[in-house]
Amino acid sequence: MVAVDTAHGGQDLQAEIERLRTANEELAARLRELEKEKAQLALQLEQLKKLIYGRSSERYTDHPDLPFEAEEPPKPPHVGEAPDEEYEVVRKKPRKRGIKRLREDLPRDRIVIEIPEDERRCACGGVMESIGEEVTEELEYQPASFFIREIVRKKYACKKHEEQGVLTPDLPARPIAKGMPGPGLIAQVLTAKYKDHLPLHRQHGIYRRHGVDIAESTLCDWVADGARIFKPVVECLKNAVLESHVVQTDDTPITIQDRTIGRGSRRGYLWVYLGDQGDAVFDYTSGRSRDGPKQFLGDYKGWLQADAYSGYDAIFRDGSVVEVGCWAHARRRFFKALSTDPEDAGHILASIRHLYRTERDANQHQFDHAARRELRNQQAGPVLNALRPWLESLQRAVLPKSPFGKAISYCLNQWQALNRFLEDGALKLDNNRSELALRQVAVGRKNWLFAGSDSGAKRAATIYSIVVTCWLNKIDPFAYMRDVMPKLAAGPSCADDLTPRAWRSSQRS
């Protein structure tokens, strides 16, 4: 009886041990999951804190040497050592305080202060004469003002032959045929909204303070008229972009007001396409599918530099459009991985710095495309040949879903596209120019918040095309639009001669 009880007790004890072992394994697995989740949340918290409180600059200089065994690439002829302006700290001269040098063509209001004649009597009894003057410059400001331009057309008739009728000269072409605003006012509204990021309701308040009460709905109508006027110019810009040897593109989301859905808004996208002659075209799509860039590019054949968005894959499939990668996108991922793997990520940043140093050398010597391509293959080629096997060895040792693992995967998956800049000196190392163009939208949407409709977003794309092209060509968009608008109203067939580039050339001649 005792033996039976002992055996039964042993079985219970063994079962309890198994239960506890299973429970311990489950707890250990749960602990590992929680530790992993904790690490991910800590990383997210660190990234958010850096986003809110940290610096926006991505400069990093703690790893000046290459992380792998490779010979230093040869220097180009007569190229001396210089600090890397792209990612190394450069000592700058302290900025002089106060106002910078003023333009010579600023209007001047001369005020002369005289001494009364009885106060400039000399001890000899004579009157002192002017021998010069002391000039003190004072920079002043006069708020923008409205004025009314009267277009007077004389009427003529024969008093003896009234049946001949009345002769009246034709009214000059105006931006809005029966509207009151002149080209300068429309140009101001467009420039203020799409260049200076002033929403229409703020412009309404500013104009009312100047004594002119213009309804917001009226300002909105003028924006629509402005987009209509400049549409032929944007078509010419699009043709110029699609004729380019290299096209750069990127996209950014915007909010579209839509009262037909529950939350009252939805997401749309603005795409920018930059040509290699200084032309920019924005295109709006209601989604981010591949149909947007595919429809815009049409039969384009050449180089297309973009990020690794999969929507471009169908465009690259037949080989007529060749993908060019962006080293700035690749570098940004390694920069974000510094917090989890500072040593290896820092070494890779140092390697990428050598690529930008090559570009700096080419820019300093103003190399043409052929010389730039040769220099890249001399300096950047050996770095890339040594970097890839080192990245592959690191990939086998890191967690695939870690920030560093994701950065390596992105770089290796895009390796062929990232190396394309070695094939043609006309290609850029990164797509930063497109991102800079999209900053005009990114800064503006913080103020105007949303587009009222798909049509409004398309109008915004039209005006952004003009504003950003003026920026690329160093043109004041207000001066350009004010001068060109009456000519476009007279005949849009001349749009080819009125693009910002053509307008700049005509102003110089």
pLDDT, tens digit, 9 for 90 and up, residues 369-422: 999 999 999 999 999 998 999 899 999 888 888 889 999 999 999 999 999 999
Helices (H), 260-368: 291-297, 313-316, 327-336, 342-364
Q: Are 379 and 75 in contact (CB under 8 A)?
A: yes
Q: Which helix (H) or strand (E) holds 281?
A: strand 280-285
pLDDT, tens digit, 9 for 90 and up, residues 272-286: 999 999 999 999 999
Q: Are 89 and 61 in contact (CB under 8 A)?
A: yes
Longest dimension (CA), the chain: 148
Nearest to 193 by CA among 439, 467, 484, 475: 467
Q: Inform me whether the pLDDT recorded for 95 exceeds 50.
A: yes
CA–CA distance, 414 with 325 (Å, rounded to integer): 7
Residue 162 tokens, joined? 């009234």
Residue 278 tokens, joined? 């200084």
Q: Inform me whether the pLDDT recorded for 8 exceeds 70.
A: no
Task: Please report the DSSP string for 94-128 in residue order.
Answer: PPPPS--PPPTTS----------GGGSB-TTSPBP
The predicted structure's pLDDT at residue 73: 39
Residue extents of the structural domains in the chain: 233-481
Residue 444 tokens, joined? 């503006």
Q: Are 428 and 350 in contact (CB under 8 A)?
A: no
Residue 269 tokens, joined? 């996208």
The predicted structure's pLDDT at residue 54: 64
Q: Are 481 and 503 in contact (CB under 8 A)?
A: no
CA–CA distance, 42 with 366 (Å, rounded to integer): 47
Question: Which residues lie across from 305 on neighbouring strands?
Answer: 248, 324
Question: Which residues lie across from 280 on neighbouring strands?
Answer: 274
CA–CA distance, 150 with 146 (Å, rounded to integer): 13
pLDDT, tens digit, 9 for 90 and up, residues 113-165: 888 888 888 888 788 888 888 888 888 877 778 888 888 888 888 888 877 88
Q: Are 367 and 425 in contact (CB under 8 A)?
A: yes
CA–CA distance, 245 with 243 (Å, rounded to integer): 7
Helices (H), 396-453: 403-413, 415-418, 432-448
27-53 in b/e burial notation, b at 16+ Cβ within 10 A?
A: eeeeeeeeeeeeeeeebeeeeeeeeee
Answering whether pTM is above 0.75, one says yes
> Which residue type sits at 273?
Y
Please, which pLDDT band fits residue 78 given cuts at 50, 70 and 90? very low
